[in-house]
Structure 1
Amino acid sequence: MRARSTNDAETLALSALAATLTDERRARRFLDLSGIDTEELRLQAAEPALLAALLRFLEAHEPDLIDVADAMGVKPAELVAAREDLEA
């Protein structure tokens, strides 16, 4: 399922970012693997490239993708489609 617009994709990705950051283990892993620090994260949180990177991070570990999608009440495929839209 494709997100309907870039705004929809950004909204889904921002929600996924919030859900990711509420889990300490997942948040630390994202920060460690991305090399981004918390200040840079605050400054770039709404940037499509960072949001796409977050969604790629979730896709790379299916249990995280499923957990975040469940927490958001969406299907994992919607997060994948949002990433594709952000990268288009």
Structure 2
Amino acid sequence: MVNEDLMVLALRVLGHVAGDGDMGPRLLALTGLDADGLRARASDPALLGAVIAFLMAREADLITTAAALEVPPSAIVRAGQSLGEDEI
């Protein structure tokens, strides 16, 4: 079972990425999901882990997201590791 605090952080990460004018469209293009599909799977740990893996692939995005959420980047990385970073 996934720690609730990590799940909340991952959901916050998803919200930030989806709402970002650069990261959001890139995430959708890379996953093949549309906005409705993303919303429908928002509570799926595999999807949340994949979103964090997406951030980890580009350090600047990870740092920007961490700053926006006022958490250390390592907290986001830990959440991703907990969620398994599965592919979507």
Q: What TM-score does the superposition give when structure 2 sets the normalisation length?
A: 0.89
Establish whether residue 64 from structure 1 lines up as the match of residue 61 from structure 2. Answer: yes
Q: Deviations over 1:22-81 (max 9, x none)?
A: 211110000001111111111101110000000000000000000000000001110000
Taking the aligned partners of 2:10 and 2:40, their CA distance within structure 1 comes to 16
Taking the aligned partners of 2:11 and 2:5, their CA distance within structure 1 comes to 10
Segments of 4+ moved more than 2 angstroms: none
Taking the aligned partners of 1:51 and 1:25, their CA distance within structure 2 comes to 18
User: RMSD over aligned Cα, in angstroms?
Assistant: 1.3
Identity of aligned residues (%): 39
Establish whether residue 6 from structure 1 lines up as the match of residue 3 from structure 2. Answer: yes
Q: Could you list the runs of 5+ residues in structure 2 that have no partner in the other structure?
A: none
Of structures 1 and 2, the one scoring higher in RCO (CA 8 A, sep 6+) is: 1
Q: What is the 5 A alignment of 1:2-41?
A: 6-41=3-38
Taking the aligned partners of 1:36 and 1:56, their CA distance within structure 2 comes to 16
Taking the aligned partners of 1:23 and 1:15, their CA distance within structure 2 comes to 12
Taking the aligned partners of 1:6 and 1:24, their CA distance within structure 2 comes to 30
More helix by share: 1
Q: Could you list the runs of 5+ residues in structure 1 that have no partner in the other structure?
A: none
The residue aligned with 1:81 is: 78
Q: What TM-score does the superposition give when structure 1 sets the normalisation length?
A: 0.89
